[in-house]
Amino acid sequence: FDMFVLAFVERLFRTTYRKDDFVLGKKLGEGAFGVVYRVSLAKNPSSKKEGDLVLKKATEYGAVEIWMNERVRRACANCCADFLYGFLESSSKKDGEYWLVWKYEGEATLADLMLSREFPYNVGTSSHQPFIKPFMFPKMLLQHSELALSLPGQTVETMILGEVQNLPKGIERENRIIQTIMRQVLFALDGLHSTGIVHRDIKPQNIIFSEGSRTFKIIDLGAAADLRVGINYIPKEFLLDPRYAAPEQYIMSTQTPSAPSAPVATALSPVLWQLNLPDRFDIYSVGLIFLQMAFPTLRTDNSLVQFNRQLKRCDYNLNAWRKTVEPRASPDLRKGFVLLDLDGGIGWELLTSMVRYKARQRLSAKAALAHPYFDREGLLALSIMQ
Ligand code: ADP
Ligand code: MG
pLDDT of residue 116: 92
Atom of ligand 1 nearest to the CA of 33: 3
pLDDT of residue 244: 93
Strand 207-210 versus strand 215-218 pairing type: antiparallel
Q: How confident is the model at residue 325 (pLDDT cuts 50, 70, 90)?
A: very high
User: Which amino acid, 248?
Assistant: E
The overall average pLDDT reported for the chain is 81
pLDDT of residue 155: 36
Compute the distance between CA of residue 75 and CA of residue 154 in angstroms, rounded to an integer: 22
Sheet holding 53-58, edge to edge: 22-31, 34-41, 53-58, 97-103, 83-89
Q: pLDDT above 90 covers what percent of the chain?
A: 55
Which of these, 229, 230, 207, lies nearest to 218 by C-alpha position? 207
**8 A C-beta contact, residue 248 and residue 277:** no
Top-confidence residue, 209 or 273: 209
208 in ligand 1 pocket by Cβ < 6 Å?
yes
pLDDT above 70: residue 139: no
Q: Whose CA is nearest to atom 7 of ligand 1?
A: 220
Compute the distance between CA of residue 89 and CA of residue 3 in angstroms, rounded to an integer: 26
329-383 pLDDT tens trace: 998 899 999 999 999 999 999 999 999 999 999 999 999 999 999 986 544 444 4
pLDDT of residue 49: 60
Compute the distance between CA of residue 371 and CA of residue 183 in angstroms, rounded to an integer: 10
99 in ligand 1 pocket by Cβ < 6 Å?
no
Q: How confident is the model at residue 240 (pLDDT cuts 50, 70, 90)?
A: confident
Query: Ligand 2 centroid to 26 CA: how many Å?
Result: 16
pLDDT of residue 50: 66
- The total number of residues shown for the chain amounts to 386
Query: Ligand 1 centroid to 63 CA: how many Å?
Result: 17
Catalytic residue status for 112: no
What is the CB neighbour count within 10 angstroms for residue 38? 18
Contacts with 125 (C-beta within 8 Å, 6 or more apart), sequence order: 131, 132, 144, 145, 148
Contacts with 380 (C-beta within 8 Å, 6 or more apart), sequence order: none
3-state secondary structure (DSSP) of residue 231: strand
Which of these, 338, 344, 379, 375, lies nearest to 182 by C-alpha position? 375
Ligand number nearest to the C-alpha of 220: 1
User: Rounded to two decimals, what is the model's pTM?
Assistant: 0.84
Mean pLDDT confidence for 173-183? 93
Alpha-carbon distance values, 244 to 81, 229, 252, 284, 335 (Å)? 21, 26, 18, 8, 22
Give the HSE-up count for residue 174: Cα atoms under 13 Å, Cβ half-sphere. 23
> DSSP assignment of 256-315, as one string?
SPSPPPHHHHHHHHHHHHHHH-TTHHHHHHHHHHHHHHH-GGG-SHHHHHHHHHHHHHTT
Counting ligand 1 atoms within 8 A of each CB, the residue from 83, 208, 215, 221 with the most, and so the one to mutate, is 208
User: Where would I find the beta strands (DSSP E) of 44-82?
Assistant: 53-58
81 in ligand 1 pocket by Cβ < 6 Å?
yes
Tell me the ipTM for this assembly: 0.99
Which of these, 151, 111, 152, 150, lies nearest to 128 by C-alpha position? 111
pLDDT of residue 8: 75
Peptide bond into 120 cis (omega under 30): yes
Atom of ligand 1 nearest to the CA of 221: 6
Ion ligand 2 neighbours, Cβ < 5 Å: 206, 220
**8 A C-beta contact, residue 280 and residue 246:** yes
209 in ligand 1 pocket by Cβ < 6 Å?
no
Greatest distance between any 2 Cα atoms in the chain:
69
Of 21, 52, 112, 201, the catalytic one is 201
pLDDT of residue 42: 84
**8 A C-beta contact, residue 19 and residue 92:** yes
